[in-house]
Chain A
Amino acid sequence: MPDLNLAKEDIRGFAGLINNVVAPLNENIKFKEKFTNKSFKILLNAVNLNYAASIILDHGILYVKSIPNKPKENLSKKSLNWDGFIEMDSQIFLAIAMKRISLIGVAMKWLTRKIKMRGILKLLNLLKMFNFLTKSNS
């Protein structure tokens, strides 16, 4: 169960950006219906920036928390207990978010270690979540 006060915390850097992107989902009725029974925590790290974004879904309610990404241990599964983890530089993140890179392109970057992922099945939930951003709320 996440700390409800997280939403009031100052969410910094890259995490602030992610928060701005996903926050409208909390107002999206279809999103709530779809995810009301789901809870997970996904960590997004942009290697060239200073803060990782911890995206927490708690029964259809989203929270984002910023985590300093240095030292590396800050982001370990042990300390954050994430279900999924994805790491890349911010330009690749932008390309994925704006659909300017194909699945094959993502796979190539994964093979060349420009994208690192753990807990791929949970990460698919993230894609499903982002899809709601381009759908009408009505």
Chain B
Amino acid sequence: MVLESKIFKEFEDIVGIGNINDGEVITNTYAYNWCMEIFNYMEGKEPTPFSPTPKAVILPSNTEEVQKIVKLCNKYGLVFKSQSTGLGPWNQPSTDNSIIIDLRRMNKIVKIDEKNLYTVIEPYVSGAQLQAELMKYNLNCHMPGAGPMVSPLASHTSMNGPGFTSPQTGHSARNVLGVEWVLPDGEILRLGSAGMKNDPDWFHGDGPGPSLRGIMRGWAGAKSGIGVFTRVAIKLFPYPCSTDFNINGYSPNYDFDIPDFMKLYVMDCNNFKKLESVMLRVEQEEISFMCSYLSGLAVMAIFSNSIESLMDKMAIGQMKAPIVVIIAARTEREFEYKQKVMDLVMLEFKLKNIIGNIYSPQPIFYAEALRSNLGLHGFIATGGFQSSKGVADTAAVCLKSTKMNIPLKKKYIKKGAIANDFGEGTWMTSYESGHYFHMEAPTMFDQTNEHSVKGMAEYMDQSNQLDLLKHLGAPFFVEGNRMHELFGPHMSNYHIWLRKIKKAFDPNNIADSGFYILPKEN
């Protein structure tokens, strides 16, 4: 299906020739995305990696063009799905009566306010680009676990947002300041201080009057189901150590001069009870840049760049409950203090650091940690990877969820559907010095094998059911009508309110609700 030529022309008049395409090659390419096959199968469809094909793809260059596009969608009853850097099924339309608004031409860092510690960015600025610029000011930004290639705007306005540096930089939802938002009816709304009549600026995310931040994104974001975000201000943080990067060599085995005041600890706590105590203790001291629990296999993976280099670290994989901590500092004095605190914690809990004793990682590991680039290692074993779970709660609940998931995962390992991580595959991180915690269960599968894809989808479905029945918190992927209606009645009927929000902002359902909620009950 393509757009009527008259409608195509109207869109083209907005963005200019060459910035809209309804050709088969382009639209079918945009219908593909990583892990689409799992979500298709979970929704009772064929496990192919393609979503419905959009009628066209359009590339606006500024907010006014986005506004005009959305208004035109309303005029012709076309659904729009917007995307920034476009990683994952959340960027895909749920209907073929749709167009994709690809925001890649909106790629500017609008402002870096080093004094007030915030930056204003457009949708197609990647985390890597932003961080590289911020480092010039000795500053850093929060990046989600997905990695530095994704859009901080998307993460902060529309998606989940735990990251490897969450002990220091928190969660995406917690870092949003002023927002520029094209509503589903085409109106432009500026949240926080960006919406002030006099001297608008981006430094604050709430008000004037009641804050709309919860409506805008809540915990997990609306994935374009409530409009298009065209600019966002996000909080910045001091860079944890020196920003003088010295890198040589070739990908992926670059040489990197490890910053002077940076140290890695990998310690086996042996069991989850002790792990919980150690994580809470380390975070109580507010010294970590990274503080994660990773399963044995996951620790092997973060130090590896190939299947061969993964498997030769089996001795590391013997750890039953490893904690990975990175401390970093700007000055020698600060570094010494943090090391002393870690020494005391290790003494208190009788822990041994394997780094420098049994194993010394390649220096590139430290660069990847600083660049929030550890998530990519999840793909090494099988090429395919997705996480189940995604709870945000206490350390105890996160570890309970980890434990309860092991037998379920083993069932699908036995079936040969997912890779063998002994059911333990987990990443858990503290947020904001241990005020709360995140846990997800990275799972490796083979995207090219139907048995594996179906098994992975069934496992994720079962994992969601387990979370519901055993009160393990809401997983990442409670999205779309079916899932909200499944979880809502068990969680204060939040889905009724979510639907009211959708109805108020988008009664005609022009913003694709595939990963949000329909304005009316099914």
Contacts and interface: CB of A to CB of B under 8 A. Distances in A.
Interface of A: 16-17, 20-21, 23, 91, 94-95, 97-100, 130, 133-138
A21 B420 contact: no
B312 A20 contact: yes
B254 interface: no
A3 B405 CA distance: 49
Contact of B311 (A20, A99, A133): A20
Interface in B416-438: 420, 422
Nearest to A23: B312
Interface in B279-336: 296-297, 308-309, 311-312, 314-315, 317-318
Given A94-B420, A95-B422, A99-B318, A21 B358 contact: no
Contact of B314 (A16, A23, A98, A135): A98
Given A21-B314, A98-B318, 14 more contacts: A17-B308, A17-B311, A17-B312, A20-B311, A23-B312, A97-B314, A97-B318, A98-B296, A98-B314, A98-B317, A99-B318, A135-B358, A136-B357, A136-B358
A39 B296 CA distance: 32
Contacts of B296: 98
Contacts of B297: 98
A97 B300 CA distance: 13
Nearest to A134: B315
A93 to B, nearest CB: 9
Given A98-B296, A134-B358, A135-B358, A16 B308 contact: yes
Contact of B422 (A21, A98, A134): A98
Contacts of A135: 358
Interface centre among A20, A130, A137 (most CB of B within 10 A): A20
B470 to A, nearest CB: 24
A138 B315 CA distance: 17
A13 B11 CA distance: 56
Main secondary structure of the interface of B (DSSP, over half): helix
Chain A contact residues: helix, strand, loop or mixed? helix
Contacts of A99: 318
Nearest 4 pairs between A and B by C-beta? A20-B312, A133-B315, A136-B357, A98-B317
Interface in B332-372: 357-358
Contacts of B309: 20
Contacts of A91: 420
Q: Which of B311, B314, B318 has the most CB of A within 10 A?
A: B314
Contacts of A94: 314, 420
26 contacts: A16-B308, A17-B312, A20-B308, A20-B309, A20-B311, A21-B311, A91-B420, A94-B314, A94-B420, A95-B422, A97-B314, A97-B315, A97-B318, A98-B296, A98-B314, A98-B422, A100-B422, A133-B314, A134-B315, A134-B318, A134-B358, A135-B358, A136-B357, A136-B358, A137-B358, A138-B357
A20 B422 CA distance: 22
Contacts of A23: 312
B487 to A, nearest CB: 33
B420 to A, nearest CB: 6
Nearest to A138: B357
B272 to A, nearest CB: 15
A135 B357 CA distance: 8
A99 B317 CA distance: 8
A136 B420 CA distance: 28
A137 B315 CA distance: 14
Nearest to A130: B315
Interface in B257-290: none
A27 to B, nearest CB: 12
A137 to B, nearest CB: 8
Contacts of A98: 296-297, 314, 317-318, 422
Residue among A21, A95, A137 having the largest count of chain B Cβ atoms under 10 Å: A21
Interface in B58-110: none
A28 to B, nearest CB: 10
A136 B353 CA distance: 10
A20 B454 CA distance: 34
A133 B313 CA distance: 10
B133 to A, nearest CB: 40
Contacts of A20: 308-309, 311-312
Nearest to A96: B314
Contacts of B308: 16-17, 20
